[in-house]
A and B are shown apart, each in its own frame.
Chain A
Amino acid sequence: MSGALGPEYTIVLGVFATMIMVMLAKNRTILAYWAALAAVVVSGVWTIILWSDRALPLSLYAQGVTVDGFSLVINGLVLLASAGALLIGWNDERYGADFPALVLLALLGMMVLGLANNFLVLFLGIELLSLPLYILAASGGYAESREAGLKYLLLGAFSSGILLFGLALLYGASGTMVFTQLGNSPLILPLAGAGLALTVVGLVFKLGIIPFHMWVPDVYEGSPLPVTSYMAFGTKVAAAAVLLRFLFFGFSLAVGWWEPALGYLAVLTMVAGNLLALAQKDMKRLLAYSGIANAGYVLVGISAHNQSGARAMLFYLLVYGLAVLAAFAVFTMVAGDRKSVSLNDLTGLARRSPWLTAFLTVAMLSLAGIPLTGGFVGKFYLLQAALYANEPGLAIGLVVGAMIGLAAYVRPLQRAFQAGDGAVVPIRWPIAGAVVVIIAVLGTIGLGVYPAPIVHIVNHSAAFDWLH
């Protein structure tokens, strides 16, 4: 069927449309934002139409890309992430004229990563995702933003180098570049082991797993707020999706090679990431460490190496993303014209804006995993997957990490409910930001109260029959 890549083509057209509009206006123009948002919406509708298509799963371009339920769900997640980033940074003069076009380009990279079934597509997706984000990270126009861009660039190039060399060794060991053929080809052992290790390290770098996390807090803190939200949600989804597909499609027969290592990394990341989050005063930095810890939770789904793990991972990515979008939308409104929000800026927020405090509470409780929010259901499914896979260590690590994380997430709330000193300054509500925060909060609560429809979708998407 020809329309299987329709969502991606729509985004390509959207990139051109936004660029042409910026060129015609010779300046930042609201039309570019509308064009970008329209492309995202059309692409989303097309994804939903494809979902009910019977022709899936489909393998195109000499098995280079696979369009299946998994890739469609990833499409939906990254479209949500980019719509959130666009709306949080809606028509903001601080981020330059090319903000919407760059967001769409990075979105294209994320969608390609969801489809990848081949080293070439994997590499192209990673770079298509990273290159616009380097510019976006540096686009804040202040020193910290440039520093974040520089650090992201250097560490990104470094990790892409590791990934590429790993892919090269895997190609040499197997003679094929297609994930699904890796399992069938005779592997030359030391070469394949080294290649797999380097590839996984490269991907885990992008995901921000401890001990490969050093760049995450600095880049998140320095980047402008909407870009940080995009990195925290979108790139996590894309990196996790491609890591899962690479390991499940390529090495489902050699689980012993990667599962123990990823399991230990997941436990380390969940515990250490939440511990490091405890000490943070800057909210972007807090969410950076929270992002690291949540990448650890996501890794639990991958290292459980079964279908319920993949499903729990997809579900968790959605609830994590909604909580992150809500938190970043609130922080953007609180920040106003400032670059960032610290703990002190939150003091007295309950007096200044009870609604924003309520929304922030929902987001933080969801990140901590309190019942009646999506975060609880997501962690519950991950726990279930870890126990199905007979991995009690993963389950214990998850629970310990969540318990430590609760303390980190409650601190900003405690500040928000403290009485502030001085005058009560009202907070401006941009309409676009309000839309994001309301949808994200409703989604978070909805997923916590009635997760069945999303669980149904996720169960149908991650149908990898060769896994038990």
Chain B
Amino acid sequence: MIPLNWVVALGAALFAIGAVGVLVRKNPLIMFMAAEMMWNAAALVFVTFARSFHDMTGQVMAFIIIGTAAAEVGIGLAIIVSVYHHRHRLDIDEVSELKG
């Protein structure tokens, strides 16, 4: 069996990659994907700990995270598409009419 620490370290690595992705990428789609990666890293860590505790609540949490992420993707893609419709390019630096 894979030691607990390794899986948690994998989760932390995924989380860090996701966080860096949100902060440095310019394309809203990629940024959104990176944010979803952070969610999935959390779900992985929840499942890992739930398994080591023999406790079901962590597993339930993972399912809730997956379901909520699906809902969020539905809304998120709709918003991204509506922004794309009006400028036909996706670059977060160009979506900047609001500043100050």
A-side residues, CB < 8 A to B, are 119-120, 123-124, 127, 131, 134-135, 138, 143-144, 146-151, 153-154, 157-158, 160-162, 164-165, 167-169, 171-172, 175, 177, 217-218, 221-222, 279-282, 285
> Number of residue pairs across A and B with beta carbons under 8 Å?
136
Q: Is the CB of A138 within 8 A of B82?
A: yes
Q: List 12 A-B contacts (CB under 8 A).
A: A123-B61, A131-B71, A138-B79, A147-B98, A151-B95, A157-B76, A158-B35, A161-B18, A165-B45, A168-B61, A217-B100, A221-B98
Q: Is the CB of A134 within 8 A of B76?
A: yes
Q: Which residues of chain A have C-beta atoms less than 8 A from B43's C-beta? A: 164, 168
State how many angstroms separate the Cβ of B58 from the closest Cβ of chain A. 6
Q: Is the CB of A161 within 8 A of B38?
A: yes
State how many angstroms separate the Cβ of A204 from the closest Cβ of chain B. 16
B-side residues, CB < 8 A to A, are 8, 11, 15, 18-19, 22, 28, 31-32, 35-39, 41-43, 45-46, 48-50, 53, 55, 57-58, 60-61, 64-65, 68, 71-72, 75-76, 78-80, 82-83, 86, 92, 95-100
Instruction: A182 to B8: give the CA distance in the assembly, Å.
Output: 20
Q: Is the CB of A134 within 8 A of B79?
A: yes
> Nearest CB to that of A279 among chain B residues?
B100
Instruction: A37 to B55: give the CA distance in the assembly, Å.
Output: 42
Chain A binding surface SS class: helix
Q: Is the CB of A148 within 8 A of B98?
A: yes
Q: Which residues of chain B have C-beta atoms less than 8 A from A135's C-beta? A: 75, 78-79
Given A147-B95, A157-B35, A171-B58, check contact A285 B100 (CB 8 Å): yes
Q: Which residues of chain B have C-beta atoms less than 8 A from A144's C-beta? A: 97-98
Given A161-B39, A164-B42, check contact A120 B80 (CB 8 Å): no
Given A150-B79, A161-B15, check contact A171 B49 (CB 8 Å): yes
Q: Is the CB of B76 within 8 A of A153?
A: yes
Instruction: A120 to B42: give the CA distance in the assembly, Å.
Output: 13
Given A123-B64, A157-B35, check contact A280 B42 (CB 8 Å): no
Instruction: A165 to B86: give the CA distance in the assembly, Å.
Output: 35
Q: Is the CB of A124 within 8 A of B72?
A: no
Q: Is the CB of B49 within 8 A of A172?
A: yes
Q: Which residues of chain A have C-beta atoms less than 8 A from B61's C-beta? A: 119-120, 123, 167-168, 171, 177
Given A150-B28, A164-B39, A165-B42, check contact A143 B79 (CB 8 Å): no
Instruction: A161 to B83: give the CA distance in the assembly, Å.
Output: 23
State how many angstroms separate the Cβ of A194 from the closest Cβ of chain B. 9
